[in-house]
Amino acid sequence: MAQTRRPRRGSRAGTRSGTPRPAPKPPAADGPLVTLDIERVAHGGVFVAHHEGRVVFVADAIPGERVVARVVDQSKDRFWRAETVEVLEASPDRRPHIWAEASVERPPERRAGGAEFGHIHTARQRTLKAEVLVDALARFGGVERDVVVEPVEAALAPGVDLDAGTGWRTRVRLHVGADGSVGPYAARSHTVIPVASVPLAVRALAELAPLADRFAGARAIDLVAPSVGDAALVVVDDDRMPRGPRPTIVERVGDRDFTLDRDGFWQVHRGAAATLTAAVHDLVDGDRFDPRAANHDLYGGVGLLAAAVGDRFGDTVRITSVEADARATEHAGANLADWVGARAVTGRVDRYLDELATSAGPADLARLADATVVLDPPRSGAGRAVVDRLAEVRPRQLVYVACDPVALARDVGLLRAHGYELEALRAFDLFPNTHHVEAVVRLRAIV
């Protein structure tokens, strides 16, 4: 075990992290009680019901159930938000919550957050996530497509209970309350909830978690379990950057090692990096791939997906990884050293593409038009500015890795308006017992 006192940075600059948001208000404990019939799932881990003609978004329910819910937010004219407090008619897909401190038996303001689907059987969780993705693609992307959310293969996730959806998190943040106690935040608030276990964590972190200890004056406790080496406990004191060298770790994917900062971005599920490597490897259309073209890995982090491309097509592949975090870019350069045509560039993706589009000569534009571009943007997606620039340089195919269905669907819609066609899609359950889902799609430029 390693224990140090230093802050944790956001996941990776320009990608998974963003501007800090104001602390959410705790749920109201005195709102009206309403009886609701739950109709369907909505994006964000909540479910849709109606009460006297008004939409109500309900937490901790399942479609087909009848529940009593407490309205906790009536601030919007068009909809309310509510928390289930009693299940009158349970779905056959309901199970005892995998985390006792998040159970519907507890008052909503005392439920641990971070496992909002933990009361639902795992197979049903995946169908609900598929419904959200199907709905988003239809509404925002203009695409009708069936979706199957695939579990992580057992061989890629040793130690993970795939049936229960537990034991998969290799990074855990525990917050510290005013009294020094540690725990997760309550759902949709910044109230620290003491807990007796962390069931989503890999075993090494579950054993390391200091759930009964006090950390007066600290802000948070970060637990990190790399695939190579020992797990670490990091006490986060403040937001100041540390002096001196930053600790690094090694993550192994197949036979390849990736070095990164211990507080840098890496996929959280034990099997996620290998799963996404295989998906990108498979979804790149080999008939359209030109190893000499100006291939790119945008939002490239420490080079995971660029390496997936390189491992498939050989050590002469030309590929540029673009990442806003300078430390991640430094690691990417070293991690991609096997490929003579690989390079890592530090820069915001939108600004990099602006410069690329305005400075490229005829030969450069031809190499870009023949290119394959992999992109793995933050939860907010690539957005219009990046999509417009990509469409301007018009790479032959795009492989888009997304962790938010609505952001993905919006960008698919933007790309379709620029003449790109969605050809292939795979979705993976990389966040069991939460509402999150990962998707990988391939789009091709229509000539």
For residue 231, CA distances in Å to 68, 170, 180, 215, 271 come to: 42, 9, 23, 19, 17
Return phi, psi of residue 280, to 5°.
-65, -45
Taking a C-beta distance cutoff of 8 angstroms, is the pair 317, 295 a contact?
yes
376 labeled part of a ligand binding site: yes
Which residue reads 């602390």 in tokens?
23
Whose CA is closest to 170, among 49, 272, 38?
272
CA distance 9 to 173: 12
Q: Has 339 been annotated as catalytic?
A: no
β partners of residue 87: 67
**Do the strands 40-42 and 171-176 form a parallel or antiparallel pair, or are they unpaired?**
unpaired
Per annotation, catalytic residue among 403, 414, 425, 441:
403
Q: Is 397 annotated as a binding residue?
A: no
Residue 400 labelled as part of a binding site: no
Distance CA 278, CA 312 (A): 10
Asked if residue 323 belongs to a known ligand binding site, the reply is yes
Question: Residues comprising the binding site for S-adenosyl-L-methionine?
Answer: 267, 299, 323, 376
Positions marked active-site: 403
Question: Residues comprising the binding site?
Answer: 267, 299, 323, 376
